[in-house]
Chain A
Amino acid sequence: MTKQQANWSPYDNNGGTCVAIAGADYCVIAADTRMSTGYSILTRDYSKIIQLADKSVMASSGFQADVRALQKVLAARHLIYQHQHNKQMSCPAMAQLLSNTLYFKRFFPYYAFNVLGGLDSEGKGCVFTYDAVGSYERVGYSAQGSGATLITPFLDNQLKSPSPLLLPAKDAVTPLSEIEAIDLVKTCFASATERDIYTGDKVEMLVLNASGIRREFMELRKD
């Protein structure tokens, strides 16, 4: 008799989309609040965003249990950092920590698709985008998750990001104002919601700037 194989998967995709856009002195990080499994909606009001430090906000979609575990690990590591260095972690430092944390589980990955957004040490907006095993780069904007394929081409068109191959290197942060960027994000989600079954219900947006952090919600289609 052949050996019985496991008929359960340690992974599930709970869906959702995350977007972040970096501006000259602000950063917008947004994610929808729908949590799904298969063809069912589990809940319409689940936040995928966590503020890890003063100037670092992470949005993650994918397998919710792994996302939650990843959030807890990073939060704990930040607390230790604060105890040891008596200061908050900078966004680029958190970016490296996230990459290392993901790669640490290279052979049983966190099924999490992350965007990290915040302000760098000069107060400029920064966005870091990741794959599930920690490969990352700093970009001017990014989308991850089930609606990413719908949103990314739209942002490419609207933000007209300069080629990273140009010399001298041109800044990837958008010259758009904060209000314009938020409006763009709302448009992204409204569009993605139309065609992606896993995106919808509500979009939660966090805006980081010199004066602090602000949260906004917008209703999305619930079908």
Chain B
Amino acid sequence: MMHLADSAPVTNNLLGSEADSQRTMYPYVTGTSVIGIKYKDGILFAADMGGSYGSTLRYKSVERLKSVGKHSVIGASGEISDFQEIMRYLDELILYDNMWDDGNSLGPKQVHNYLTRVMYNRRNMFNPLWNSLVLGGIKNGQKYLGTVSMIGVNYEDDHVATGFGNHLARPILRDEWHENLTYEEGVKLLEKCMRVLLYRDRSAVNKLQIAKITDEGFTLSEPYSLKTFWDFNAFNNPTLGAEGSW
């Protein structure tokens, strides 16, 4: 008589092997939106300094904006460790570019193309770098601003954003961005977008940096906070007038 309870457990090797444990399945420490705009002299980026661990705002001094070579800036949202890996790829790219010592240097368009190929290639191997990247810069007066997602979707535009920024910041930018914004106007516009994100994005933190790249070079601001206003009547007395409330 068959004793089914005595059967040895079926070892299933068809559904993957040890190698699968190395693939990214989901992100752990993540950064939220990055916004970038072209302005008169170059490109401006804004990103907060939060690194969330699921719903916990675990790290509050994460620099998500970095310079790449002489002409570009990269901003990353998504898995922070994957961003650090991308920075290693980029540092190596720039190193080899410098080692040619031929007076030429990679511009933002080229770096963006490289990143797109890297992201797409990882997606093809089903082991993505879990990031949405913004890449911008200026070389010989030519401004460039582009973005690439974790599956390789890429495009360039006058203003770009990742994650929630696409939903909350892009509409503001579509309405208020124009060519030849001054530096002050650009920062004000970015701050307006970051404030909306701060109010409405659960994973935003009130500590941000602005990065600027022009033909003169790269600057990264000291971290600072935005002023917020919470003293609305509806917030002070949220249940006033509601049926069944007290």
- A-side interface residues toward B, CB under 8 Å? 3-12, 14, 35, 37, 40-43, 45-46, 63-65, 68-69, 108
Contact = CB atoms under 8 A, between A and B. Distances in A.
Given A40-B166, A42-B166, A6 B25 contact: yes
B11 to A, nearest CB: 13
B151 interface: yes
B155 interface: yes
Top-5 shortest CB links A-B: A65-B152, A43-B157, A43-B155, A64-B153, A65-B153
A45 B149 CA distance: 18
Contacts of A10: 123-124, 126, 151
Give the interface residue-count category, chain B: 20 to 34
Given A6-B126, A40-B170, A63-B153, 20 more contacts: A3-B16, A4-B25, A7-B25, A8-B128, A8-B130, A8-B150, A10-B124, A12-B151, A14-B153, A35-B155, A42-B153, A42-B166, A64-B153, A65-B120, A65-B123, A65-B152, A65-B154, A68-B152, A68-B154, A108-B124
A64 B155 contact: yes
12 contacts: A3-B15, A3-B16, A4-B26, A8-B150, A8-B151, A10-B124, A40-B170, A42-B157, A64-B154, A65-B151, A68-B116, A69-B152
A46 B15 CA distance: 40
B83 to A, nearest CB: 17
A34 B25 CA distance: 31
* Most A C-beta atoms less than 10 A away, residue of B15, B116, B151: B151
Q: Is the interface of B mostly helix, strand, loop or mixed?
A: loop
A8 to B, nearest CB: 7
Contacts of B149: 12
Contacts of B167: 40
Interface string B125-164: 0101010000000000000000001111111110000000
Contacts of A5: 25
Contacts of B124: 10, 108
B117 to A, nearest CB: 9
A16 to B, nearest CB: 12
A64 B123 CA distance: 13
Contacts of A108: 124
B166 A7 contact: no
Given A45-B157, A65-B120, A69-B120, A11 B166 contact: no
Considering residues A6, A14, A63, which has the most beta carbons from chain B within 10 angstroms of its beta carbon?
A6
Contacts of B156: 43
Contacts of B130: 8
Nearest to A11: B151
A59 to B, nearest CB: 17
Given A12-B153, A43-B155, A7 B120 contact: no
